[in-house]
């Protein structure tokens, strides 16, 4: 298992040190950190990194709020409980490409129902900010259920007696939520945030289907894909891959350091 993942990474590291373009295979040469230099000095990389971070932060924070509401709802709801749980799994299981296309057609000025519904005339995917909105909307739609389920699992661990005791002592619903429920859910919230942040950072499918990275919506995964597959520049593309890998590791380390989150403990080691 380690071999299957570690070998390609090592190979990517190796390739990233060469000038290696499949359209000009004869010009293969060792260039040291030259590829990294060209990536790190290019506006495309930093722009896409900013885009990716914006999408990640935007969607994960909306998901956290919506997911929490949804978790509370599922925790309390007796009405249509089964239907509710089944319904929220639908976004999770639908192929991302299909979900992205469905929303794309919905927002499309020609085929869509969104413009007539709000009586506006907006080419959503032709402008940067509205395209970002649609991307974040899809991401939120698709992954809030996962967030909600993780939070719900944490919510069920909050002892009910504690909440009753607080209620008897005269704490309002808000006070009970913010003073008791939230602090006790801290580990669950952190795990959910970490999972979703890492997941959102590698966003590819939705952006690819919606804009193919046009209108300044390129994410780091899209940049990597274009360098590797569209332009067949293995050296440069591998450098991008390695940098994305390093970004993901730093995010994980940041989470673990900043919040004192122990993956092992959080991850179910009893």
Window 101 to 160, contacts with other proteins (CB under 8 A): 101-103, 105-106, 110-113, 115-117, 141, 145-146, 149-150, 152-154, 157
Least separation in angstroms between residue 44's CB and other proteins is 15
Least separation in angstroms between residue 32's CB and other proteins is 18
Q: Does 12 bind other proteins (CB under 8 A)?
A: yes
- The tokens describing 66, both together, are 């919506």
Q: Does 31 bind other proteins (CB under 8 A)?
A: no
Q: Which is nearer to other proteins, 52 or 131 (CB)?
A: 52
Least separation in angstroms between residue 176's CB and other proteins is 15
Q: Count how many Cα atoms sit within 13 Å of the Cα of residue 153 in the half-sphere of its side chain.
A: 13
- In this structure, are residues 97 and 203 in contact, taking their beta carbons and an 8 Å threshold? no
Determine which residue in the list 44, 54, 248, 256 makes contact with other proteins, applying CB under 8 A. 248
Q: Does 162 bind other proteins (CB under 8 A)?
A: no
Window 181 to 200, contacts with other proteins (CB under 8 A): 187-188, 191-192, 195, 198-199
| CA neighbor of 194 nearest in space, from 261, 96, 247 | 261
Total interface residues for other proteins by CB under 8 A: 90
Q: Does 201 bind other proteins (CB under 8 A)?
A: yes
Window 77 to 106, contacts with other proteins (CB under 8 A): 77, 79-80, 82-99, 101-103, 105-106
Window 42 to 81, contacts with other proteins (CB under 8 A): 70, 73, 76-77, 79-80
Least separation in angstroms between residue 167's CB and other proteins is 14
Q: In sequence order, which residues have a C-beta less than 8 Å from that of residue 34 and are 6 or more positions away?
A: 19
Least separation in angstroms between residue 73's CB and other proteins is 5
Q: Strands 29-30, 18-19: parallel, antiparallel or unpaired by DSSP?
A: antiparallel
Least separation in angstroms between residue 132's CB and other proteins is 19
- In this structure, are residues 15 and 36 in contact, taking their beta carbons and an 8 Å threshold? no
Query: From CA 208, how far away is CA 61, in angstroms rounded?
Result: 22
Q: Which is nearer to other proteins, 136 or 242 (CB)?
A: 242
Stretch that binds other proteins, among 29-37, 57-65, 174-182, 235-243 (CB under 8 A): 235-243
């Amino acid at each position: 298992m380690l071999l299957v993942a570690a070998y390609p990474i090592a190979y990517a590291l190796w390739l990233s040190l060469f000038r290696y373009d499949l359209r000009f295979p004869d010009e293969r040469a060792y260039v040291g950190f030259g590829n990294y230099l060209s990536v790190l000095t290019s506006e495309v990389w930093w722009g896409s990194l900013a885009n990716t971070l914006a999408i990640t932060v935007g969607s994960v924070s909306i998901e956290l709020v919506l997911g929490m509401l949804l978790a509370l709802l599922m925790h309390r709801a007796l009405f249509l409980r089964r239907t509710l749980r089944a319904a929220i799994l639908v976004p999770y299981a639908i192929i991302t490409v299909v979900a992205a296309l469905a929303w794309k057609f919905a927002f499309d000025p020609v085929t869509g129902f969104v413009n007539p519904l709000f009586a506006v005339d907006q080419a959503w995917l032709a402008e940067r900010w509205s395209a970002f909105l649609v991307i974040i909307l899809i991401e939120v739609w698709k992954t809030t259920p996962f967030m909600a389920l993780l939070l719900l699992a944490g919510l069920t661990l909050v002892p009910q007696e504690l909440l009753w005791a607080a209620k008897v002592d005269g704490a309002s619903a808000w006070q009970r939520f913010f003073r008791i429920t939230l602090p006790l859910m801290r580990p669950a919230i952190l795990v959910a945030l970490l999972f979703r942040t890492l997941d959102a950072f590698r966003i590819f499918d939705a952006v690819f289907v919606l804009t193919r990275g046009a209108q300044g919506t390129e994410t780091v995964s899209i940049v990597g894909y274009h360098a590797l597959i569209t332009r067949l520049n293995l050296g440069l593309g591998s450098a991008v891959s390695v940098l994305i890998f390093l970004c993901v590791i730093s995010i994980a380390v940041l989470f673990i350091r900043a919040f004192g989150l122990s993956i092992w403990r959080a991850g179910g080691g009893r």
